[in-house]
Amino acid sequence: MLTIPAPSDAVKPDAVCGLSYEAGRILSIFNRKPLAAKAKIVCTGHTNNNDKDDTMRRFQQSLHTFAFSTLALLCSLPATAAELNNITAQQALFLMEQQKLSSVALVNYYLQQIEKNNQKGADLRAITDINRDAIKLATRLDKERKAGKIRGPLHGLPVVLKANIATKDGMPTTAGALALKGFLAKKDADLVTQLTAAGAVIIAKSNLSEWANFRGENSASGWSALGGQTKNPHKLSQSPCGSSSGSAVAVAADMTLLAVGTETDGSITCPASVNGIVGIKPTHGAVSGAGIIPIAASQDIAGPMTRTVSDAALLLQVLATDEAKSRYGDLTAAINEVQVKKVLLVRAFDGQFAAIKQMQDRVAQQLQQNGIVVEMLEQWQLPEQLNKDELTVLIYEFKRDLTQWLQESQVPAAVGSIDKIVAFNQKKGKAALAFYGQEYLQQAAAIDLEKDKAAYLQALNNSKQLAKAQLDPYLSQYDAILIPAYGPAWPIDHVKGDQFSFGTSTAAAVSGYPSITIPAGMDGQLPLGLSLVGKPWSEAKLLGLAALLEQQLPKRAIPALKP
């Protein structure tokens, strides 16, 4: 919010003077401030009631003249690297519209950021492959914009994809596995086709927990045989979580403007939380999974990973299927409307971390100050049977769905089945397996899809019922459940593997309900995330609430890139 002194003849009361949103947001760019959902200029003087209308009309006219004259001067200057630092998609698009930023310049900026800190500098290991045609694509999009042709809402904007998402652009699709090293897909994943049609520039692929963290037990999130160990940019010794580790870190460390991750259970939610970014796990089925290396079709879903809620809404609007778009409406408009009246705030983890209690106290206070009813829940415990049934489902579907993907994608015969991948890994030894095993691959290989089908269907039905039973009684009374996503990042450990303190993604993951995770606090230098869970297809409502909280809570921390 910009504060400008009112004219000398203003006497009372306080007044809000109009400034267009476009003008306000461009001013925010050059002030290097985050884009607010609404731009206002507050006049700090007072006006006499009798003269208020005339005085304010004359003042607003002079103010608009001043504001737009200032904007004209500012917009005559090209954007510099300083202005591009942590820029939002909305800001980048505005500068492109003003011809003060090109897609080539923006893509170059992120390629330089990757060069600076991916395998040098902070050695984040977030990116596995660079699109060799990125500059060529950006050049083409700049020419199209200059000619008046705008492909869609992401025209010229850089995007990073998780390395389990197929592209036919010369970048391998590998899931980080040595067995798929160099594998080039012959067809784009559906979501890639949608991104390209919307004008996005796919600049790179990101590292991940190998096989989306479903190779074996005691893994360390963010490690893959091909990509090495991704690091948390807020504290390099700590885990980035996973499996969408590289996508989250690339966004947090300003290596890309936008990224796409995938989740089966926690793989968007957890990396978003511990890296201090926004992540959306959409309603199951809202984004096409065609062309993505699978774990389990009943839970797999791709979603946005961004620095702001508005950017996440913009990206989800593009990623969504036609059916999802018809259910959602305009997600980019939804962030300006708070439809939520009553929420449930889970306080079950306050005792584990003082910083989480402080975060939840702030959340409750800000929501109540905005007229939202907040009720507290002190306990949150999932039945153990849910976890058992979920694993049964994932193992069975991993056998079914990965087998189908390997066949349809025509991977080399030597690794064309799960049995052959297991044998390949055993032959390669530590080069493929390193510090943990391949128990999940082995269990999937042992599945008989016919003989084990009845047990699978029972587990599938039971897990869905248990997950919905955890959420539905509350969502029938409240517009959303607000719950700490995960604890703060833990040390990277290649002996014991991941050491989670707690995680809360399972109920939404198994039920298929949407969850939006936003930065909501800090535990020292480590981010804490808050997940907003709602009924199926309630993303628009959740985005409005997320945008409100984003404005009210402390700003997203910029990573220190230090040990």
Q: Is there a contact between 125 and 229 (Cβ–Cβ < 8 Å)?
A: yes
Collapsing DSSP states into helix, strand and coil, what is residue 455? helix
Please report, as a single letter, which amino acid is at residue 92.
A
| Element housing 139 (H / E) | helix 134-146
Name 301's bridge partners: 263
Q: Is the peptide bond before 243 cis (omega within 30 degrees of 0)?
A: yes
Close Cβ partners of 433 (under 8 Å, ≥ 6 residues apart) = 216, 225, 425, 426
Separation between Cα atoms, residue 56 and residue 61, nearest integer Å: 8
Separation between Cα atoms, residue 243 and residue 74, nearest integer Å: 42
| Element housing 140 (H / E) | helix 134-146
Please report, as a single letter, which amino acid is at residue 533.
V
3-state helix, strand, coil in the chain (%, to 5): 40, 15, 45
Q: Is there a contact between 375 and 478 (Cβ–Cβ < 8 Å)?
A: yes
Q: Is there a contact between 374 and 364 (Cβ–Cβ < 8 Å)?
A: yes
Helices (H), 449-536: 453-475, 506-511
Helix axes 539-552, 354-369, angle to 10 degrees: 100
The tokens for 477 are: 């009374």
Q: Positive or negative, the Cα torsion across 253, 257, 261, 267?
A: positive
Q: What is the 3-state secondary structure (H, E, C) of 182-223?
A: CCCCCCCCHHHHHHHHCCCEEEEEECCCHHHHCCCCCCCCCE
The tokens for 308 are: 């702001």
Active site residues: 162, 243, 267
Collapsing DSSP states into helix, strand and coil, what is residue 486? strand
Between β-strands 373-377 and 342-346, what pairing exists: parallel, antiparallel or unpaired? parallel
Q: What is the 3-state secondary structure (H, E, C) of 272-333?
A: HHHHCCEEEECCCCCECCCCECCCCCCCCEEEEEECCHHHHHHHHHHHECHHHHHHHCCHHH
Separation between Cα atoms, residue 479 and residue 69, nearest integer Å: 44
Radius of gyration of the chain (CA): 24
